[in-house]
């Protein structure tokens, strides 16, 4: 999140801080979200592995994030993910037991920046293609983007990029990369 987005007891937090149920935590102070976290609100960061889904139940019986959490001993009845990563993706997820907080963090109107490190097969990313991705594109009548994209590394058979976006549609980055 952008600098100044988190406050504890009215003070901007720029480093890790120990908090308890007595502290008031605000997320989005610069964007106007200004949603005080309830006293019983809990927030977790979970490193989702590839090969599980961000869902409570899966009709295909694939492993889920919440099944993994129960295996780790975190058996809280109501945990919500803020956003999600698909089955093939891995990375950090924010989890909470506060639905209002989750909704506030997910709203595109607040322009909270989400960052992804993306691997793509091939060296096909020339300046013209990157320009099209930066400005956004239409796919099946729906607008995707704009994005901030930085090429991190080019290799003979693949390219690593750093994506920044402010909202996330289902498989958005995968669809952009396929396009």
Please list the active-site residues: 86
What is the chain's percent helix, strand, coil content, to nearest 5? 20, 30, 50
Q: Which residues contact 129 (CB under 8 A, 6 or more apart)?
A: none
Return the CA Rg of the chain. Answer: 18
Cα–chain center distance at 98: 17
Helix (H) or strand (E) holding 139: strand 137-139
Backbone dihedral angles phi then psi of residue 110, each to the nearest 5 degrees: -90, -5
Residue 73, CB-side half-sphere exposure with 13 Å CA sphere: 0
Q: Please say whether the dihedral angle defined by the alpha carbons of residues 161, 163, 169 and 170, taken in this order, is positive or negative.
A: positive
Q: Find out whether the peptide bond into 167 is cis, omega within 30 degrees of 0.
A: no
């Amino acid at each position: 999140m952008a600098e100044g987005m988190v406050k504890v007891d009215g003070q901007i937090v720029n480093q890790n801080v120990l908090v308890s149920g007595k502290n008031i935590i605000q997320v989005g102070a610069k964007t106007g979200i200004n949603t005080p976290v309830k006293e019983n609100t809990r927030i977790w960061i979970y490193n989702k592995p590839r090969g599980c889904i961000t869902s409570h139940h899966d009709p295909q019986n694939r492993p889920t994030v919440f099944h993994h959490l129960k295996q780790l001993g975190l058996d809280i009845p109501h945990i919500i993910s803020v956003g999600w990563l698909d089955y093939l993706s891995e990375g950090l997820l924010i989890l909470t037991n506060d639905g209002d907080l989750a909704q506030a963090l997910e709203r595109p109107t607040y322009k909270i920046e989400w960052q992804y490190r993306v691997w793509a097969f091939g060296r096909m990313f020339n300046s013209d293609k990157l320009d099209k991705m930066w400005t956004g594109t239409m796919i099946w009548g729906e607008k995707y983007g704009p994005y901030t994209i930085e090429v991190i590394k080019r290799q003979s058979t693949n390219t690593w990029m750093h994506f920044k976006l402010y909202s996330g549609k289902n498989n958005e980055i995968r669809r952009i990369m396929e396009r």
